[in-house]
Amino acid sequence: MSANLDLLPTELVEHVCNTLETTDISRLRLVCRQLSEKASRSLEHACFKSVSTSLFPESLNRVRQILQHERANQIIRSFTISVPRSFPCEEACSEHFQLVQTQGRDNLPLGILQRLPGNCRKALFSAEANKALRELFTDGSLPNCRSFTIKGTCDDETFFPTIHGSATDALLALLSHVSESRRPIEAFTLELLHDEAGALDPVRIPASCYRNPGFTEAWGGNLRELCLSFWDDRNLDPIIGLIASAVNLTKLELRTTTYTGFDKILNGIYAYNQSWEPPLRQLKLQRFKDVNPGGFLTFLLSFRETLQGISLSYMTLNSGSWHQTLFTLLHCHLHLDSIYFLLLCETYPDLNYRVRFCPVESEDLPTNVPLNLDSWRHISKNLVIGAKGLRYEGPEVAAVLRYLLSTSHVYDPHRSIKKSWTELRGSED
């Protein structure tokens, strides 16, 4: 063996040496061979359990080489496709600046960037890349892979929107493969926020990709975890289709950067599938506005028997909604063991109020809370609470919710107005 034992943990070295000292010399070769095989398998699992690729030929070819290795192909459990959020050449940057100056950044129509001549020194999604992705998704590749992710990557040197089409084509290839092969995908993540979100053009994703029997059967029957991060709410049909088709979800995360109307998504889901009621255990919602309390509470009550964890942040509900939400979680969701609330607001005819969770004054921020918020206080090992948020994990969720119902209030930070929910309901009457 040529391994450098100095790099191994001391406990492992001692164990190996003790084994060799007590082993007959005739069996030494067998012991070394067994050790080599076990170490090789462990290294293979560590190296190939999760594989990622970009849409450039070099990266796709590297993945092809990995998949040609029979054991590595069997080991892969999660597969990630990364799409860049910036232009990789100066010519594209120059043309982009010209378009921004003449039309304005917000007036660039979807798809305009992918039509720029010379927008990329190497085509981000060429016919070669399309063929390579389809080969990865078919022909016996990734037989044990059950988790797929499409996400944007950050380039620190430039800060330009992604060329439209790369993530769209990757998603189209994946959805088409699910429809054709009915691969049992158990977890899917679409992580495209703000700058890199421009890579997804929902107009180019036809309904036939997620409304056909093959896709509905495979997606709905196997998917357990769905995490979607998006920003453009001009066409939510693909997002709604992916959610409404997943009837066996145990984890759902939805995040936007434009404060999308949550009612629009809810109405779309139930219009697509009136009986949508998955056995959800974990729910995370971030940056939604104009949330109707009736529809939102009906949505939460759909998971009253299964929900174990809920995370709500940067959300705006109509008047009185958060009080109703806390009351519903306390009395109807008896299996909760984790809650997380951050920067919640309520809308009233005269102004917007923020929800404050406890009447504490400003104090030094705990060093282990990575948020620039004031008034955080550690109540216990499992509970961190502040004026703007709360995080708790443990068996006493009901007690925490009762505490919130008794101490929470709303306030207007601009006019220094603070009111309890009782006062607000009385003024409305």
The pLDDT tens digits of the residues spanning 79-89 come to 998 876 544 44
pLDDT band at residue 47 under the 50/70/90 scheme = confident
Largest CA distance in the chain: 92
pLDDT of residue 272: 92
Q: Which of 19-23, 158-162, 211-215 has the lowest mean pLDDT?
A: 158-162
The pLDDT of residue 302 is above 70: yes
State which of 27-31, 46-50, 113-117, 310-314 shows the largest mean pLDDT: 310-314
Taking 70 as the threshold, does the pLDDT of residue 291 lie above it?
Answer: yes
Predicted confidence band of residue 364 (pLDDT cuts 50, 70, 90): very low
Cβ within 8 Å of residue 13, ≥6 positions away: 5
Run of H or E residues at 291: strand 282-291
pLDDT at site 413: 64
Task: Please report, for the chain, how many H helices and E strands are present, in that order.
Answer: 14, 15
> In sequence order, what are the residues at sequence separation of 6 or more whose Cβ sits closer than 8 angstroms to the Cβ of residue 420?
409, 410
> Using 50, 70 and 90 to split pLDDT, how confident is the model at 154?
low
Question: Alpha-carbon torsion 173, 174, 175, 177, what sign?
Answer: positive
- For the whole model, what pTM was predicted? 0.76
* Top-confidence residue, 349 or 71: 71
pLDDT for res 359: 46
Among 47-51, 63-67, 135-139, 393-397, name the one with the lowest average pLDDT. 135-139
Average pLDDT on 309-317 reads 90
pLDDT over 70 (residue 73): yes
pLDDT at res. 271: 93
Highest-confidence segment of 56-70, 236-250, 411-425: 236-250
| pLDDT the model gives residue 283 | 98
Closest residue by Cα to residue 193 from 157, 232, 139: 232
Residue in this structure with the two tokens 């100056």, named with its chain if needed: 101
State the average pLDDT over residues 108-136: 52
Q: What is the CATH number of domain 54-85+125-279?
A: 3.80.10
Burial 145-167 (b: 16+ CB within 10 A, else e): bbbbbbbbeebeeeebbbbbbbb
Q: Which of residues 230 and 145 earns the better pLDDT score?
A: 145
Q: What pLDDT shows up at residue 366? A: 34
> Which sequence spans correspond to the domains of the chain?
54-85+125-279, 285-428
Higher-scoring residue by pLDDT: 56, 189: 189
Q: What is the pLDDT of residue 363?
A: 36
As a whole number, mean pLDDT of residues 199-212 equals 81
